[in-house]
Amino acid sequence: MTKRLEMYRCEICGNLVEVILEGEGELVCCGQAMTILHGKNKDNEGLEKHVPVFDIKENGKCEVRVGSVLHPMNDDHYIMFIETISDDKNDIHLKYLHPGMEAKLELEEKLGKLTAREFCNLHGLWEGESD
Ligand SMILES: [Fe+2]
């Protein structure tokens, strides 16, 4: 049984999937059950470079930055995507990133509480919550 917006990874081939609509079945890839991922947000080394933080600009836009110290975006170590999720889980924004870009996502406005998560190619899934 899956739940909406859960993320699962295949330990063999690296497929990473997000559940859009939940179902009864177990997710399987390369012949074995996929592993559910949980966003890290505390008690982990590298916290300050990985937990997303929120910054409301004067123009009302909301900038989501990966890390209170901005995460590097090098060829061998970078943030692969950032996603924001509204509190009711109905409004989702996903941005893919590539080396050389900034580890940021900008929203036109911030309506209510948000969760942001990001995936580092070396350090996995992390998440943070806005006020
Ligand atoms: Fe990292």
CATH code of the domain containing 16: 2.20.28.100
Q: Are 61 and 17 contained in the same domain?
A: no
55 and 22 inside one domain: no
Q: Tell me what the mean pLDDT of segment 10-25 comes to.
A: 97
Nearest 5°: phi and psi at 95? -125, 125
Nearest to 9 by CA among 32, 31, 37: 37
Residues, Cβ < 5 Å to ion ligand 1: 120, 123
Owning domain of residue 13: 7-37
Are residue 29 and residue 67 in the same domain, yes or no?
no
CA of 82 to the centre of ligand 1 (A): 13
Centre of ligand 1 to C-alpha 64, Å, is 16
Whether the per-residue pLDDT at 57 is higher than 80: the answer is: yes
How far is the C-alpha of 12 from the C-alpha of 57, rounded, in Å? 42
Residues forming a β-bridge with 118: 82, 126
Q: How high is the pLDDT of residue 48?
A: 92
Q: What is the pLDDT of residue 46?
A: 87
Q: Answer yes or no: do 52 and 21 share one domain.
A: no
* This prediction's pTM: 0.93
pLDDT of residue 111: 82
Gap from CA of 108 to ligand 1 centroid (Å): 27
Mean pLDDT, residues 48-67: 95
Q: 120 and 96: one domain?
A: yes
Residue 2 lies in a domain: no
